């Protein structure tokens, strides 16, 4: 595929997904992974997981993985175009909706919409977590840590940054303990 077609393909993947980011960019990870790894084959599952890890520990927006994917697929133009494709459509839509939303008093449809979108956002985020953990390279300890962090996040108001840090320490510590005990690496196919 020539560079122009790659750039068009990146926009065609990320612009529609931008409009589906209910609950934030994290809700799109499963769909992004499906498009990038399975449909287009731009990255392997391992490369996607590495890009995801880099995007999580890097400062900036949570959807930074799209920039990394664009960079890998088409260099700097791909990174810029992918980022714009994931940010601009939803930004324009939110700007227009905010104008409508704030144009009058709180109506019943606004309250219903707010209540209805919350479980949809949560469901999309949970589905993305399951999709990321379902790949062969995901260690069983990752499932346990993800479940524990999810329970704590659901039942408390602990900072997400703190949960990410503690979950990472627990995961790495558990892997080191398993390696020291001579346990086989169950996460590698």
Question: Which residue in the block uniquely carries the two structure tokens 């001579």?
Answer: 182
pLDDT of residue 155: 92
Max mean pLDDT among 74-78, 116-120, 133-137 falls in 74-78
Say yes or no to pLDDT of 164 above 90: no
- Contact between 112 and 15 under an 8 Å Cβ cutoff? The reply is no
pLDDT of residue 189: 46
- Contact between 81 and 66 under an 8 Å Cβ cutoff? The reply is no
Say yes or no to pLDDT of 186 above 70: no
Task: Measure the CA–CA gap between 10 and 79, rounded to whole angstroms.
Answer: 9
What mean pLDDT is predicted for residues 117-128?
84
With left for phi above 0 and alpha for psi between -120 and 50, is residue 182 left, alpha or beta?
A: left
pLDDT of residue 104: 67
Give residue-wise pLDDT tens across range 15-46.
999 998 876 778 899 899 999 999 999 999 99
Domain ranges within the chain, ordered by starting residue = 3-103
**What's 26's DSSP letter?**
G
Task: Measure the CA–CA gap between 129 and 133, rounded to whole angstroms.
Answer: 6
What's the pTM?
0.63
Give residue-wise pLDDT tens across range 147-163.
999 899 889 999 988 99
Largest CA-CA distance found in the chain, in angstroms, rounded: 64
Task: Measure the CA–CA gap between 128 and 126, rounded to whole angstroms.
Answer: 5
- Contact between 41 and 112 under an 8 Å Cβ cutoff? The reply is no
């Amino acid at each position: 595929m020539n560079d122009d077609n790659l750039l068009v393909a990146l926009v065609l993947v990320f612009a529609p997904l931008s409009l589906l980011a209910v609950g934030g960019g994290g809700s799109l990870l499963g769909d992004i992974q499906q498009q990038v790894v399975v449909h287009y084959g731009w990255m392997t599952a391992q490369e996607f997981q590495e890009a995801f890890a880099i995007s999580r520990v890097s400062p900036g927006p949570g959807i930074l993985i799209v920039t990394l994917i664009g960079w890998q697929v088409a260099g700097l133009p791909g990174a810029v175009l992918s980022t714009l494709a994931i940010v601009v459509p939803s930004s324009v839509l939110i700007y227009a909706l905010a104008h409508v939303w704030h144009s009058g008093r709180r109506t019943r449809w606004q309250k219903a919409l707010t209540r209805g979108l919350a479980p949809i956002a949560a469901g999309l985020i949970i589905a993305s977590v399951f999709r990321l953990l379902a790949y062969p390279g995901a260690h069983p300890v990752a499932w346990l840590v993800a479940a524990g962090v999810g329970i704590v996040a659901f039942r408390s108001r602990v900072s997400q940054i703190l949960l990410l840090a503690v979950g990472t320490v627990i995961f790495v510590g558990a892997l080191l303990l398993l390696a020291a005990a001579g346990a086989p690496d169950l996460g590698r196919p």
